[in-house]
Homo-oligomer: A and B are copies of this chain.
């Protein structure tokens, strides 16, 4: 097995940037396609939703899938991830985080493509997704009603959901899903939807408020048929300060 002597950092003589370090041909190593697939979570009326596309091209034409695209050889992969979501949602700076890499040989029926899963959280009310060149259509699909997905996208989605549930317990990511100004009951409902649990109202507010991560606005809900709730916003600055001191958000 002569190839065993290759190390990560040796290279192809043919790649775009190639430098011929050795006389052996490394071309065969440089045949991978790289893609990004995005799991975009949105939240609306107490339901967690996912952004799915209807595929407009083979393979799996007509099937539901996650929005994703091949990465250009001269494009950073996190830039590619941002590009995909910008095309779909029009948002420029989006919270996006990797979940993991999917690198099985046979995951793509038409070639060796490894993909990186990203997840993202957005406030549905703020952004109206529009099908671009991408696909026949883009839709918010309720988490409870996810259809069968193309490729290994079902697995990617499940993994992203697990990561989200994990993260939301230990980091204040949940605020990304809410409008900037929200009531404590909204926040509670969001957590209950994300984690499939029920919390006591009084205890929930005490926990959250005791962290001092919310700024109480001098503004209330409007047009509700009951006592209007006080609105809050997330104090990102304070969170960054606290975290620098070793504070860790829990539940």
Contacts and interface: CB of A to CB of B under 8 A. Distances in A.
Chain B CB within 10 A, most for which of A28, A112, A114, A115: A112
A40 interface: no
Contact of A105 (B29, B76, B116, B166): B76
Would you call the interface of chain A mostly helix, strand, loop, or mixed? loop
Interface string A69-80: 111111111100
Nearest to A87: B4
Contacts of A42: none
A90 interface: no
A113 B18 CA distance: 11
A104 interface: yes
A3 B56 CA distance: 15
Interface of A: 3-12, 15-19, 21, 26, 28-37, 55-60, 65, 68-78, 87, 98, 100-101, 103-105, 108-116, 132-135, 150-151, 166, 170
